[in-house]
Chain A
Amino acid sequence: MLSKRIISCLDVRDGKLAKSVKFINTKDIGNPVVQAKKYYDDGLDELVFYDITASSDKRDIMIDVVSSVAEQVFIPFSVGGGLRTVEDCSRVLLAGAEKVNVNSAAVRRPTLISEASRAFGAQAVVLSMDVLRVEPDPKIASGYEVVINGGRTRIGLDAIEWARRGEELGAGELVVNSIDADGTKEGYELTLTRMIAEAVSIPVIASGGGGKPEHLYDVLTEGKADAALVASMLHYGEYTVGEIKSYLAGRGLKIRTVN
């Protein structure tokens, strides 16, 4: 049986961590490579780097970050943010990432998913979706709508429909990020995660709302997620990877432990 995966997401702007990280050495504050290495040493299962660099002329910095991570971190990692073409995807994969993470660009141009899937294999393509809870209507029957541009733009796309479409187009995994739960630290959106996990047959990674290890337990059991994304829980030093993993293993989940 596969272990449930614990994945951490690092937001990178101009080559530096976008959120401050509490527990690393002062001189290393803001270095995504150092942070990734620490989580790797602590036994994290996978990493996601999200490039939130605003200007496209600074995107090359991200490629350097990806290469440096790949030289020191020997677990799978994906890279997202600003990937619009197969060429963009190819650059981060060649720099050492296993997977690309596409979001708004895939909503605007869904064939990006199929093109990337054909070029690199479905296992290399992660479709990330930002989802907002809305009043159900004929267009958004599930009551969950996909939003783009970091949650700012609603486009009338049902999240369940988009998840199924993404799988058909060749995505190998889905990241389901709840805008409502994001930042609350009150737990993942269990209903949304479960609805999507039941609608597709590819792995679902739950994102948004994780504040305590029991939140991960809930989404990995009741929410039917295959993996959980954690950010501030780890970044602010509230928990270590080891603490989260021992808690989940203690409650009977299959978790990869590293001695």
Chain B
Amino acid sequence: MITIVDYKAGNLTSVKRALDHLGIENQISKDPSVVRSADQIIFPGVGAAGAAMEALKERNLDLALKETFQKGTPILGICIGCQIILTHSEEDDTACLDLISGKTVRFQLSDPTLKVPHMGWNAVRVTQPHPILSHLRPGDEFYFVHSYYLQPDGATEVYAVSDYGGEFPVVIGMDNLFAVQFHAEKSGPLGLQLLKNFSEWRP
């Protein structure tokens, strides 16, 4: 059973619909005790880092997530849920969960034809094999919407990159934690397969 963490962050129902479609048992919960005892966790989100961290703290979900990470529960972060696992976000100058050390920074692109947010379909290049990415082939694209990008301190935590005025990390992970910048739940069959791979992942 996958528990989808509800912290008022928007795309919960899209993730739920995708899991339902795949026949994967799931529930949405905002209760920290449910999150603590979850078999697997999806931590989704859209919106701003500051508001997301506030909502997590308000519900004591920040501590619950840190605990589940430490005890080895498989966790999948999506979009803002991927950004706020790092130490700090430049967006609203926000102190984040610090599960992986690093920060998120705003795109500063020298090419004026490249717009921010980075919104649309872009190719994802795997830089380090991982069971959750095992179905990807070169050139495969996913759907992105974001203005800030991931900058983990260590290169070993990066599993895939995309190119937008230069390469930047889009998938990061460590131990039982895996996180994608793109919206897997809106990225067609490849995104659905990624969710399925996560459900079968036993780190």
Contact = CB atoms under 8 A, between A and B. Distances in A.
B67 interface: no
Which label, helix, strand, loop or mixed, suits the secondary structure of the B interface?
mixed
Contacts of A123: 46, 117, 119, 145
Contacts of A202: 115
A70 interface: yes
B122 A2 contact: yes
A71 interface: yes
Given A96-B14, A98-B186, A121 B121 contact: no
Interface string B149-178: 000000000000001100000000000000
Contacts of B186: 74-76, 98
A94 B117 contact: no
B120 A258 contact: no
A160 to B, nearest CB: 18
Given A40-B188, A74-B18, A74-B192, A5 B120 contact: yes
Interface string A52-87: 000000000000000000111011100000000000
A96 B16 CA distance: 11
Given A2-B121, A3-B122, A70-B17, A75 B188 contact: yes
A86 to B, nearest CB: 15
The number of chain B residues touching the other chain, given as a range, is: 20 to 34
B122 A172 contact: no
A221 interface: no
Contacts of A43: 188
A172 B119 CA distance: 10
Contacts of B6: none
Contact of B13 (A75, A96, A120): A96
A38 B80 CA distance: 31
Interface in A1-28: 1-3, 5
Contact of B20 (A1, A2, A71): A71
B74 interface: no
Contacts of A256: 121, 141
A1 B121 contact: no
20 contacts: A1-B122, A1-B164, A2-B118, A2-B120, A2-B122, A3-B122, A3-B141, A5-B121, A70-B14, A74-B187, A75-B187, A94-B13, A98-B186, A123-B46, A123-B145, A172-B119, A202-B115, A226-B115, A256-B141, A258-B188
Interface of B: 10, 13-14, 17-18, 20-21, 46-48, 115, 117-123, 139, 141, 143, 145, 163-164, 183, 185-189, 191-192
